[in-house]
Amino acid sequence: VRVYIAPHNVIVQCSKGEILADVIKRVIPEFPTPCGGRGFCGKCMVKVIQGELSEPTGNELLHKIPKGFRLACQARVLSDLFIEIPAIGKLKVLTSGIEPKIDEIVPLLKVTAVRLEKPTLESPIPYDRMLSRLVGSRDIKPRVIKEMSKKDLRKTDKLKVLLRNGVIVNITSHERRVLGLAVDVGTTKIAAYLIDLDNGENLAEGYVLNPQSKYGDDVISRITHVMRDQNKLHEMHELTIRAIEELARKLCKELNVDLKDIYAMSLVGNTVMLSILLDVDPSPIGTAPFTPYLSMSLEGYGSELNFKSLGDAWFYIPPSITGFVGADAVADIVTAKMLGVIPPSLLLDIGTNTEIALLMEDRVVVTSAPAGPALEGGNISCGVKSLEGAIYRVKVNEKGRIVEYKTYGETPIGLSGSGIVSLIAELLRHGFLSKSGKLIKDLGNSFEVIPSKILITQKDIREVQKAKAAISSGWRMLLEVAGVSVNDLNEVFICGSFGSNIEPRDALTLGLIPNIPLSKVVILGNSAGTGARLMLKSEKARRMAENIVNKSVFVEQALHPNFMKVWLDSLTFGN
């Protein structure tokens, strides 16, 4: 059967009985399914103009959906269909960030050019021995021997030998480039960077939406799917590996280079993403004591992770600290440290799960804060992701009128997380919102940004307040545990897409970050991606990652006797 999707003007072919949301996502990956199709959030509502769908489910009835509308994640397609969904633009994705200068490029694989001598009857040295002698290695991987036979070394004399910790892991012809791929496997998007391993030059970068998003926007939704059905784990794993290969192929095509020239990969992500990457059950991270199966650094051939086109590439995954402070947070910290951070400084990677680190001289004190989806537009009546059409800045005058708003693209469709923060900060600054989070009487229960179209409600503000409380109680607890005062802080680093989109002044007004001079706030951009690149290029960065984990102290906030008091204090806006 065929599904026609307006206003996008696309027709998708599908089988009878398929879930409508799955069908839509095949052509419009940005179509929102925040709760992963469990029927809880109601954000996947579509208008059915014509055609037959399965009977409404219990969850749909609970949502009291208007006549003619259905939840796409609940309805199954039974005939040709004509539906209308909201206009959905492309997601604004941040891939770049500040990259520190590296004193010495020491890539993950050492590349040594050699000239082979032809074996003779007088000196019949086997090829593996000859190679090992030339590069001073004692070990060689079996697949290199196979590769030698494929290259027919009797005909070649110049080669590049690729070594990892003194072991020959690959060889290539001397004229081929040796490339590396750094990958940040985020919950929302997968960003990849192509790098020349000879000189550390960044050649290309790009991203794709994480295809696991059909199982929900956040890691908990994905874990829930795996808990219900282990096959979903394998499906998510397969989707992720193929998405990385597809992205790598696209970057190689842009540069007109061969995918086979990628010989090394560094992969960072949170522990749930890394578990899925390894096809390992992430469920233990979803329940107390939130302990993942993996936390140590891992390396090996891509084929061990089920890569096909990148099966011969040597991968490196840096270590994680704990269940909710993964290798992506370690990559953030590596980036900040290589930029020359002066301790004590604070680092925040703000998201549904916010990682917070206090960087001290001799240790790193870390925690994670379950901020929830409000700061990414989730659970907010007119909240949207950072899509085209999302309002990301708002200016209010002293009369309580909107004087300006900025939108990605043309037509406003809702408020992005940074737009919500901007609006709340403006309302606070002009006295329309009290520090306790109450809109002033004259405004009633909501504030309109675009009359009858886009507004923020009192309930939305409470959601943001809870997110703010989670984050600021996180850094307050770290400062308390380490005996550091806000005045001692040298810098505050903000990482990640959301953090890079907010105005630092707004973050200060809300009290998302400590009250320090604006000049001390550093926006790092996608520092997890930067850290992944650094770990591909620099031995110092890889050693630093190990060191950070060894010297980290995780603070479980809920166990601290002052937690409840600090959390309640943190509910107030401002510092």
**Cβ proximity of 302 and 313 under 8 Å:** yes
Query: Which range in 42-50, 140-148, 369-377, 517-525 contacts ligand FES by CB under 6 A?
Result: 42-50
Q: How near is the Cβ of 137 to ligand FES at its closest, in Å? A: 53
Residue (31 or 392) nearer to ligand FES, CB:
31
Residue (380 or 523) nearer to ligand FES, CB:
380
Q: Give the E-state strand segments of 330-401 in sequence order.
A: 345-349, 353-359, 364-370, 390-396
- Is position 41 an interface residue for ligand FES (rule: CB under 6 A)? yes
Structure tokens at 40: 């809880």
Q: In sequence order, which residues have a C-beta less than 8 Å from that of residue 188 and are 6 or more positions away?
A: 91, 93, 209, 210, 213, 217, 385, 497
Please tell me the distance from the alpha carbon of residue 506 to that of residue 509, in angstroms, as a whole number. Answer: 5
Residue numbers 59-78 binding ligand FES by CB under 6 A: 71, 73
The owner of tokens 């949301």 is 21
- Mark 512-551 with x for binding to ligand FES (rule: CB under 6 A) and - for no binding: ----------------------------------------
Query: Which range in 30-38, 98-106, 381-389, 531-539 contacts ligand FES by CB under 6 A?
Result: 30-38
Residue (21 or 109) nearer to ligand FES, CB:
21
> In the beta sheet, which residues pair with residue 47?
69, 84
Using a 10 angstrom Cβ sphere, with 0-12 exposed, 13-18 middle and 19 or more buried, the burial of residue 553 is: middle
Residue (216 or 292) nearer to ligand FES, CB:
216
- Is position 380 an interface residue for ligand FES (rule: CB under 6 A)? no
Contacting residue, 23, 24, 25, 37, with ligand FES by CB under 6 A:
37
Alpha helices in 373-429 (DSSP H): 417-429
- Is position 20 an interface residue for ligand FES (rule: CB under 6 A)? no
- Is position 35 an interface residue for ligand FES (rule: CB under 6 A)? yes
- Is position 44 an interface residue for ligand FES (rule: CB under 6 A)? yes
Length of the chain in residues, anyone? 575
- Is position 86 an interface residue for ligand FES (rule: CB under 6 A)? no
Using a 10 angstrom Cβ sphere, with 0-12 exposed, 13-18 middle and 19 or more buried, the burial of residue 78 is: middle
- Is position 88 an interface residue for ligand FES (rule: CB under 6 A)? no
Q: How near is the Cβ of 34 to ligand FES at its closest, in Å? A: 6
- Is position 39 an interface residue for ligand FES (rule: CB under 6 A)? yes
**Cβ proximity of 472 and 570 under 8 Å:** yes
Residue (35 or 181) nearer to ligand FES, CB:
35
Q: How near is the Cβ of 377 to ligand FES at its closest, in Å? A: 14
Structure tokens at 556: 């479980």
Contacting residue, 4, 40, 69, 82, with ligand FES by CB under 6 A:
40
Query: Which range in 11-19, 41-49, 112-120, 502-510 contacts ligand FES by CB under 6 A?
Result: 41-49
Structure tokens at 343: 């301790």
Residue (72 or 276) nearer to ligand FES, CB:
72
Query: Which range in 27-35, 107-115, 122-130, 241-249 contacts ligand FES by CB under 6 A?
Result: 27-35
- The alpha carbon of residue 88 and the mean position of all alpha carbons in its chain are separated, in whole angstroms, by 21
388: DSSP letter: T
Q: How near is the Cβ of 59 to ligand FES at its closest, in Å? A: 7
Query: Which range in 35-43, 201-209, 224-232, 407-415 contacts ligand FES by CB under 6 A?
Result: 35-43
Residue numbers 282-311 binding ligand FES by CB under 6 A: none
Please tell me the distance from the alpha carbon of residue 200 to that of residue 530, in angstroms, as a whole number. Answer: 13
- Is position 34 an interface residue for ligand FES (rule: CB under 6 A)? yes
Query: Which range in 34-42, 190-198, 226-234, 413-421 contacts ligand FES by CB under 6 A?
Result: 34-42
From residue 430, how far is each of 280, 315, 396, 435, 467 by CA, in Å?
51, 52, 8, 12, 22
Number of residues in contact with ligand FES, rule: CB under 6 A? 12
Q: How near is the Cβ of 163 to ligand FES at its closest, in Å? A: 48
Q: What is the DSSP pairing of strand 298-301 with strand 314-317?
A: antiparallel
- Is position 83 an interface residue for ligand FES (rule: CB under 6 A)? no
Which residue of the chain is nearest ligand FES when measured via CB?
73
**Helix axis angle, 327-338 to 539-550, nearest 10°:** 120
Q: How near is the Cβ of 390 to ligand FES at its closest, in Å? A: 19
Cis status of the peptide bond prior to 344, with omega within 30 of 0: yes
Q: Give the E-state strand segments of 212-324 in sequence order.
A: 262-269, 298-301, 314-317
Residue (17 or 126) nearer to ligand FES, CB:
17
Which of 357, 349, 354, 358 is closest to 369 using CA atoms?
A: 354
Query: Which range in 33-41, 188-196, 348-356, 439-447 contacts ligand FES by CB under 6 A?
Result: 33-41
- Is position 48 an interface residue for ligand FES (rule: CB under 6 A)? no
Residue (34 or 531) nearer to ligand FES, CB:
34
**Cβ proximity of 216 and 34 under 8 Å:** yes
Contacting residue, 12, 23, 25, 43, with ligand FES by CB under 6 A:
43
Please tell me the distance from the alpha carbon of residue 474 to that of residue 52, in angstroms, as a whole number. Answer: 49
Which of 344, 202, 231, 331 is closest to 274 using CA atoms?
A: 331
Binding residues vs ligand FES (CB under 6 A): 33-35, 37, 39-44, 71, 73
